[in-house]
Amino acid sequence: MSFIKGLKEIYLLFIKIGIRKKRTILLTLLSFTPVLLLLIAKIIEITKPHSSISASHLYSNIIVAFYIQFIIGILSIFYGSSVIDEEVEGKTLIYLFSKPISKSSIILGKFLSYISIIVITIMSGLIISFIIAYINAYISHKIIIMFFKYMIASFFAIMAYTSLFTMLATFFKRTAIVGLLFIFGWESIINYMPGKTQKLTIIHYVKSLIPQTAVNRNFLLFHLEPSSALTAIIVLSLISIISLIIGIWVFKYKEYII
């Protein structure tokens, strides 16, 4: 079977499997928590017009605090590591290895299907959050650009983290633990160090892509010394591509216990 056909069949198979997993339901619920928070804020804003709470004001903080710094990381850890881990632990790799499909198609097809699930989950959360936040507000050209910047930053964050954890899963067992340490250890600590050290984290480049509003600059990005958007895109793309190439190569040549 050709590489592309194999890729397509594996992609379709794991989309079907992926969306039915209990994990998907739980992570989707988790990723809609910010939507719920914004909805509460919007209800308060509408019912108590003189209240200091404004959903549109909260939007930036919620996107950064929940999606960029937390939910994307969690989803990437669980889906990225599952590309390999669940096949090895569930002993289902045998069904894939006995088919006329190249190993590259298997790992890449499954990776793409899980990436699609994360992208759809996160993007729908972002879109719904945006609609809730700005439903009764004037949407300027600036706000639209801000929204698209969040979408782009989220996309690159998903790609970089998920590729990285997929690659790590080809080397190690139980990559989720390594992933959690990476996201909530390394990324969280180094990210807040001043100077060039923060450039050793993925989150630095992701934050470099998001709008530097007065709100998030004072609150969450206090120490950020952003790289240029172009540099951030190049670095995040390189992390994604190199991680995937290494992951595919290891998966192709490593012998898994099947």
What's the rounded Cα separation, in Å, for the pair 113 and 166? 13
**254 near another protein, judged by CB under 8 A:** no
Tokens coding 171 = 């080397």
Can you tell me which of 41, 55, 62, 96 binds another protein, judged by CB under 8 A?
Answer: 96
Can you tell me which of 100, 138, 141, 195 binds another protein, judged by CB under 8 A?
Answer: 100
Q: Give φ, ψ of 137 to 5 degrees.
A: -115, 160
Q: Are residues 7 and 109 in contact, defined by beta-carbon separation less than 8 angstroms?
A: yes
What would the x/- binding string for another protein be over residues 126 to 165, using CB under 8 A? ----------------------------------------
| Amino acid of residue 71 | I
- What's CA 100's distance to the chain center, in Å? 32
Between 21 and 199, CB nearer to another protein: 21
What would the x/- binding string for another protein be over residues 52 to 91, using CB under 8 A? --------------------------------------xx
DSSP class of 6: H
**94 near another protein, judged by CB under 8 A:** yes
Count interface residues toward another protein (CB under 8 A).
26
Between 48 and 99, CB nearer to another protein: 99
| Amino acid of residue 172 | F
Min CB(111)–another protein separation in Å: 17
Between 102 and 198, CB nearer to another protein: 102
**117 near another protein, judged by CB under 8 A:** no
Contact set for another protein, span 2-31 (CB under 8 A): 5-6, 9-10, 12-13, 16-17, 20-21
Q: CA 249, 15, 116 angle in degrees (round to 5)? A: 70
- What's CA 224's distance to the chain center, in Å? 20
Computed on alpha carbons and rounded to an integer, the radius of gyration of the chain in Å comes to 20
Min CB(224)–another protein separation in Å: 41
Min CB(258)–another protein separation in Å: 6
Q: Is 225 left (phi over 0), alpha (psi -120 to 50) or beta?
A: beta
Q: Which H helix or E strand runs over 180?
A: helix 175-181
**258 near another protein, judged by CB under 8 A:** yes
Min CB(255)–another protein separation in Å: 7
Which residues have a Cβ under 8 Å from the Cβ of 15 and sit 6 or more positions away? 113, 116, 117
What's the rounded Cα separation, in Å, for the pair 37 and 74? 19
Q: Which residues in this chain contact another protein in the complex, by CB under 8 A?
A: 1, 5-6, 9-10, 12-13, 16-17, 20-21, 90-92, 94-102, 255, 257-258
